Structure 1
Amino acid sequence: MIISRDLYLNRLIAHRHNGLIKIITGIRRCGKSFLLFNLFKNFLLDDGVNPAHIIEIALDDRRNKALRDPDNCLKFVLDKVTNSKEQFYLLIDEVQYMPEFEDVLNSFLHVANLDTYVTGSNSKFLSSDIITEFRGRGDELRVHPLTFKEFTKTVPDLRFDDAFNYYQTYGGLPYTALLSNEEEKGSYLKRLFDEVYLKDIIERNKIRNNLQVEILLNVIASSIGSLTNPQRLENTFKSSGDKQISAVTINQYLNYFIEAFLIEKAERFDVKGKKYISTPQKYYFSDIGLRNARLNFRQQETTHIMENIIYNELRARNYSVDVGVVEINERQESGHYVRKQTEIDFIAGKGSQKYYIQSALSLDLETKLQQEIRPLTNTGDSFKKIVVVKDNILPSRDENGILTLGLKQFLTEPNCINL
């Protein structure tokens, strides 16, 4: 079964021939290679591109070991571009296998009739290096695991509740979605975590104390959507009897997880003060199935899992996502007012668009309703304010202009937040 990834394919097509290196990033096994070497390649062929003008190099393939040498790769490609008047396309998979790849990609930029696309599974080669080495000539396309809407294409006969139960348990890695047996799904995710992600992080960063890394991953997986920081995590280690890991080391390990696209960090933003708050932050798993596999499919707290899924959905839609902090004056029984920080789950931004979004299982109690909307009504601005509830409800708007949506509509209708 072929899972279409139109969201990303259309972005690639839109960036075609823009004079930049197109760099496709994302967690391993999320579908980057399939997007580039199948979906995009098929688009080029359907568009009339000569197959001989599509140069494919999979650097993670042992048979292409010689092409991991930067000079060999450069010569190989330039020898293929035989006609300077016709357009060629270069597709390189897992470019980080090549040392000095920045120099090679920069050289390709000097070939006017060569449009270059590369994939990579670690952000360390991307963020600062692209800024310094490419100086604005690199164009990143971040690929995420399947969104819920993409996932439903693999289970078209399931009702929403059943499909969502699968999704919130096993996540959206494409191969997992195609497995029909739940035991196979769970086993695959566990193997993938240990043999690919964990092994890669430990070997790439030359980590000696594997146990500390595994314990930290367990702690982060157990507390998705909770405010934390390296110092708090250090205290957690101490309380469990392991006093050998410092906040500095924890912060380093967290950055390794982020660089591998295994987790993402959401910063806190003071809405009224219009500034970022350095600590604490929230961490979310890029794929909720991997998070669950890490915990052996225990701790299935729907509230936190739903929040993680909404975060991932917003990121897949190309929004930047922060955690909102709104300070309010709260009157005490004594009559005095005290300053209190309230939280907005997500501030989603894209260009001039901004949305304040709360995630809630339900709003059946008046106290719960007031808890969710209170920070939204105190932002002091007119950006869109939304509450997403798990119940399948019709969209409604209250007297404050706050829109309430059902989770099904939010996940399956990307433009519903503009209702």
Structure 2
Amino acid sequence: MDIPRIVQTQVEAKIGQQKIILLYGTRRTGKTTIIEKIVEKYQKGAMLLHGEDLFVSELLQNRSVTNYQQITQGKKLLIIDEAQSIPEIGKILKLLIDTIKGITVIATGSSSFDLVNKTGEPLVGRNLEYYLYPIAQQELSSIEDFLTTVKNLEERLVFGSYPELWHLNTFQEKENYLKQLVNSYLLKDLLMIENVKGPDILYKLLQLLAWQVGSMVSTVELAKNLQINKLTVERYLDLLSKVFIIYSVSGYSKNLRKEVSKSKKWYFFDNGIRNALINNFSPLSQRNDIGQLWEQYFLSERMKFNRYNNYQPQYFFWRTYDGQEIDLLELNNGQLHAFECKWKEAKVKVPLGFQKAYPDAKFTVINKENYLDWITKNDDYSNSLVK
């Protein structure tokens, strides 16, 4: 199935500008497929180089204007796939864009280029950044009808949305693929970095986070479980964020004494990865973690939707020490919008403490009946935000 990717359209709209287009995303989210389609479209005017090819890496590290003129002769578009593999890639990109007139450079990365201190020099003013996630429901909505979406919801909560899944026919094939992805590809970039001791501790850390999705996570407790120090845990969490496997949401507070503000919750960008880590691909009828799956699914889809529609709020959760809580807050230009995720439709009142502290905030309960309005449609609320 050919699924139109929103990022491809956004990137193509910027080709022709004297800019470096940075396209980030975890391995296997479809970056290579996108750039191959772009190369096919621009044909002889484009050149595709693979950053993991040692010859390409050595060629580009010869940082001279003459070398780059020879490489790009007759080209308007230069694409470097997995560019984070090339030492001092930032210096290379900076010299390319500053000296080769009329060129657009697309550099893809399965990790932030600053992960291994390879930016070399800042690219501020020269670059545009885009993020590619596993398939978004907004992308699927362009090729499937409502009934198909409803039918496939449970499968997406369990197996997630990595592109390769659409080419696999059975649940067993999908389960095997996700387990292989976790074991072989997901941590590849981190394991090439010094001071990361090996895959075992990172894998166990991810497992601990997978069990605690939607709960406040203590780095002290993680350190005790892993038998390493707290600073190392914090460093590993930062690294795992920079390869786009997990993300954190902090507690929101206006310094009210009853509000939790120093803790974080950690989520995975994809439900399938989380379920592979805990080795549970059982159907929803046999699970006791439906609430966690639903909350993580909505948060990730909402973030994809916001990013693809050029709306970038700050994200928080809200909780008080006496147990009142809200799953997700979005803060933008002083406007606060609260979302509470409920798998089954239910009447949920705004927590009294939140209502008193933030009387102007909006509050929405997200359930199976209305979730698509918040992850696929530019409704009046979203339109007012993305302008």
Would you say same fold, with TM above 0.5?
Answer: yes
Counterpart check, 1:28 vs 2:20:
no
Q: Quickly say closer, same or farther: Cα 1:129–1:322, change in 2 above 3 A.
A: farther
1:3-402 equivalences under 5 Å are 3-5=3-5, 7-38=6-37, 40-41=38-39, 45=41, 51-61=43-53, 64=56, 66-67=58-59, 69-71=60-62, 77-82=68-73, 88-110=76-98, 111-125=100-114, 133-151=122-140, 159-208=148-197, 210-235=199-224, 237=225, 244-271=227-254, 279-297=262-280, 301-317=289-305, 318=307, 319-325=312-318, 340=322, 342-349=324-331, 354-364=336-346, 369-370=348-349, 372-374=350-352, 377-390=355-368, 392=369
Higher strand content, 1 or 2: 1
Higher relative contact order (CA 8 A, sep 6+): 2
SS of alignment partner, residue 362 of structure 1? coil
Q: Per-residue CA shift, 1:289-321, capped at 9, x if unaligned? A: 111111112666111111111111122121344
SS at match of 2:358: coil
Counterparts in 2 of 1:128 and 1:96: CA distance versus 1, 3 Å: closer
Quote how far apart the aligned CAs of 1:28 are: 0.9
- Determine the structure 2 residue equivalent to 1:396: none
Per-residue CA deviation, residues 364-393 of structure 1 (Å, 9 max, x unaligned), is 3x6xx23x5545533435343221123x2x
User: What is the total number of aligned residue pairs between the two structures?
Assistant: 370
Rg larger for: 1
What are the superposed Cα offsets for residues 161-186 of structure 1, whole Å, 9 maximum, x if unpaired?
43001111111110123312111110
The TM-score normalised by the length of structure 2 is 0.83
Distance 1:137 1:350 in 2: 26
1:189-225, Cα deviation, whole Å (9 max, x unpaired): 1011001113443343443354332221111011111
Q: Look up the SS of the partner of 1:356 in the other structure.
A: strand
Offset at 1:129?
6.6
Structure 2: gaps of 5 or more residues: 282-286
Please give the alpha-carbon distance, in whole angstroms, between the structure 1 residues aligned to 2:239 and 2:10.
28
How far off is 1:269 after superposition? 2.1
Letter of the 1:3 partner, please give it.
Answer: I
Q: Classify 1:225/1:140 alpha carbon distance in 2 versus 1 (closer, same or farther; 3 Å).
A: same
Letter in 2 for 1:168: L
Q: Give the Cα separation in 2 of the matches to 1:304 and 1:232.
A: 20
- In 1, Cα distance between the equivalents of 2:344 and 2:380? 19
Give the partner amino acid of 2:164: Y
Cα deviation, residue 31, structure 1: 1.2
Change (3 A) 1:123 1:80: closer
SS of equivalent residue, structure 2 residue 122: helix
Relative to 1, partners in 2 of residues 1:387 and 1:155: Cα closer, same or farther, differing over 3 Å? same
Does the 8 Å CA contact 1:314/1:321 hold for their aligned counterparts? Answer: no
Answer with 143-152 or 106-115: which moved more: 143-152
Q: Secondary structure of the equivalent of 2:4?
A: coil
Give 1:385's aligned amino acid.
F
Alignment CA distance shift 1:265-1:346 (3 Å): same
Contact 1:74 1:104 in 2 (8 A): no
Cα distance, 1:121 vs structure 2: 0.7
What is the one-letter code of the residue matched to 1:58?
H
Counterpart of 1:323, as a letter, is F
Q: Deviations over 1:234-274 (max 9, x none)?
A: 34x1xxxx6x322122112212211211111112221576x
Separation in structure 1 between the aligned mates of residue 134 and residue 185 of structure 2, nearest angstrom: 16
Shift in CA distance, 363/163, structure 1 to aligned 2, threshold 3 Å: closer
**Larger deviation: 223-232 or 292-301?**
292-301
Tell me if structure 1 keeps the 8 A contact 2:47–2:79. yes
SS in 2 for 1:316: helix
Q: 1:81 to 1:191 in 2, by over 3 A?
A: closer
CA gap of 1:350–1:34, structure 2 versus 1, over 3 A, is farther
Q: Percent sequence identity over matched residues?
A: 21
Q: Is the 8 A contact 1:272 1:380 kept in 2?
A: no
Mind listing any 5+ residue stretches in structure 1 that lack a counterpart? 328-338, 393-405
